[in-house]
C-alpha cells in the first residue's frame, strides 16, 4: 500500500508540475548522425511543433548532405564537412513520466552507459550524449529520467530521403530531485542496426 501511495503521489506531483509549467521547455542538442552503406546524398527535414532556436549547419528548408558510411557529412555546395546535424528549439510539449527511472546523481554516468547501449547507441554516440548531460545531472541528489517515445517523435517529425533502413531516436526528459520517488520501470529496446542507419539523440530538463 505504501508503495502504491508513493507512486500515485509522485505521478500526481509530476502531472501538476508539467501541466502548470508556464515556461517553454527547451529541446536541447538533438544531433543527427547518418550512416549509409555507400556514399549517398541525403535530405533531412524536421517538422517541429515549436520554434527552432539554433541549427548547424543552417537548416533553412532542410539539410542536404553527401553522407559517407563512416558518418562524415559533406555540404555539396561548400565542401565543408560535419560529423552530425544539430538543432535546438523551444516547445510546450508535455513529456511522459509514467515510466522511467529514479537514479542517484552519483550513479548517473553508469546508468546512462547501460541505458544508451540498450537504446542502440554506439559507445562513441553515447559518449557525446553523456559528456553533454552529465555535468548537469551528477550533482543532483536524484534524477528522474524517462526516455520519450511518441510524446517526442510526434512533436519533432523527421523525414529522411532516402528512408533509412534503421532509425534510432533517443530523447531523454529528466528532472533533478531532492528525494527519490518510485516510478514504474521503463522497458528499453532498440532495433537492430542494419543497412542505412540514422541516429538522433537529445533531451530536455523539465522544471520542478
* Each residue's pLDDT tens digit, 56-99: 999 999 999 999 999 999 999 999 999 999 999 999 999 999 99
Q: How confident is the model at residue 208 (pLDDT cuts 50, 70, 90)?
A: confident
What is residue 26's three-state secondary structure?
strand
Neighbours of 97 (CB within 10 A): 26
Which of 24-28, 110-114, 115-119, 200-204 has the lowest average pLDDT? 24-28
Q: Do residues 113 and 130 make contact, with C-beta atoms less than 8 angstroms apart?
A: yes
Tell me the per-residue pLDDT of 195-206, one tens digit each, with 9 for 90 and over: 999 999 999 999
> Total structural domains in the chain?
1
Which of 7-11, 100-104, 112-116 has the lowest average pLDDT? 7-11
Distance of CA 191 to the CA centre of its chain: 16
**Domain span at residue 122?**
2-205
The arithmetic mean of pLDDT across residues 4-33, rounded, is 52
Give the ranges where the chain is alpha helix by DSSP (H): 2-19, 108-118, 123-137, 150-153
For 191, list phi and psi in degrees, rounded to 5: -75, 160
If one compares 6 and 82, the residue with the highest pLDDT of the two is: 82
Residues 6+ apart with CB under 8 A from 101: 111, 115, 144, 145, 146, 183, 185, 186
Q: How confident is the model at residue 26 (pLDDT cuts 50, 70, 90)?
A: confident
Q: How confident is the model at residue 24 (pLDDT cuts 50, 70, 90)?
A: low
Neighbours of 22 (CB within 10 A): 6
Residues 6+ apart with CB under 8 A from 60: none
Which of 21-30, 118-127, 182-191 has the lowest average pLDDT? 21-30
Amino acid at each position: 500500500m505504501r508503495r502504491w501511495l508513493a507512486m500515485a503521489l509522485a505521478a500526481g506531483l509530476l502531472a501538476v508540475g508539467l501541466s502548470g509549467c508556464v515556461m517553454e521547455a527547451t529541446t536541447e542538442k538533438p544531433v543527427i548522425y547518418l550512416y549509409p552503406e555507400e556514399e549517398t546524398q541525403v535530405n533531412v527535414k524536421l517538422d517541429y511543433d515549436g520554434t527552432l532556436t539554433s541549427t548547424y549547419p543552417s537548416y533553412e528548408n532542410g539539410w542536404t548532405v553527401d553522407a559517407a558510411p563512416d558518418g562524415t557529412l559533406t555540404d555539396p555546395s561548400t565542401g565543408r564537412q560535419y560529423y552530425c546535424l544539430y538543432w535546438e528549439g523551444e516547445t510546450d510539449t508535455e513529456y511522459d513520466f509514467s515510466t522511467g527511472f529514479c537514479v542517484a546523481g552519483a550513479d548517473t554516468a553508469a546508468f546512462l552507459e547501460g541505458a544508451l547501449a540498450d537504446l542502440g547507441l554506439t559507445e562513441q554516440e553515447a559518449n557525446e550524449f553523456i559528456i553533454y548531460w552529465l555535468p548537469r545531472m551528477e550533482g543532483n541528489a536524484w534524477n528522474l529520467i524517462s526516455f520519450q517515445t511518441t510524446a517526442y517523435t510526434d512533436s519533432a517529425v523527421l523525414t529522411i530521403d532516402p528512408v533509412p533502413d534503421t532509425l534510432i531516436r533517443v530523447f531523454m526528459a529528466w528532472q533533478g530531485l531532492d528525494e527519490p520517488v518510485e516510478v514504474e520501470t521503463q522497458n528499453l529496446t532498440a532495433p537492430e542496426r542494419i543497412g542505412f542507419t540514422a541516429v538522433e539523440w537529445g533531451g530536455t530538463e523539465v522544471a520542478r
